[in-house]
Amino acid sequence: MDQVAQLIETFGSRATLSVRSKLDVLTDLVRLRDPRVVPFLLDVLADQRQPMSVRIQVLKRLRNGTLSPANRPLVAEAMLRVVSDRSSPDLQVNAALALAEFTEIDGVPTTLGRLGLDQDEPIELRFSAFTSLQRAGPTPECLALLLQLEVDESLGRSARSVLSLWQ
């Protein structure tokens, strides 16, 4: 059994593995350049039985890691599912922030814009979505979304400020 398979087995086979130990295994896994790592991380991210801190750490690893062009859409899709899951507000906020790295993927800016504009969403999530749109820069889609946010009571001033900087 190679190192990647061993680490994946260690992570999954011990139900009583502490959060710290799981994070250590994830750290060791991410250092390895192996095509099995990203699919494994996506499984951990989707697993609602995993501790929140582990899932948030996976989000950060995926956001900051070097991904192959083939994996980028898969990671973005997984993050879009997380950002739509209202059962984990902290994870939603982190996913909205992580999506800033994936705004070139179809559907990401639209979802971020929808979240930013939705008055029924928590302000932390709305602001995280707005921040990711801002980080995407003045693309036509982001410009259109920020123009819609200009009139928003909570985010309007920030949207106007960003639009002013972009012009």
* More confidently predicted of 118 and 86: 118
**Is residue 45 within a helix (H) or strand (E), and if so which, with residue range?**
helix 37-46
Query: What pLDDT, in 10s, does the model give residues 100-144?
Result: 999 999 999 999 999 999 999 999 999 999 999 999 999 999 999
Q: How many residues does the chain have?
A: 167
CATH number of 111's domain: 1.25.10.10
Is the four-CA dihedral 93, 106, 118, 150 of positive or negative sign? positive
Task: Note the pLDDT tens digit of each residue in 39-68.
Answer: 999 999 999 999 999 999 999 999 987 899
Q: How far apart are CA 53 and CA 69, in angstroms?
A: 27
Buried b or exposed e, range 129-138, using 16+ CB within 10 angstroms: bbbbbbebee
Task: Compute the mean pLDDT over every residue in the chain, rounded to the nearest whole number.
Answer: 92
**Which of 54, 66, 127 lies closest to 101, judged by CA?**
66
Burial of 153 (0-12, 13-18, 19+ CB in 10 A): exposed
d(CA 59, CA 132): 15
- Per the structure, the count of domains in the chain is 1
**Mean pLDDT on 62-80:** 92
| Domain around 153 | 3-166
At 15 the pLDDT is: 65
Q: Which of 19-23, 89-93, 115-119, 132-136 has the lowest mean pLDDT?
A: 19-23
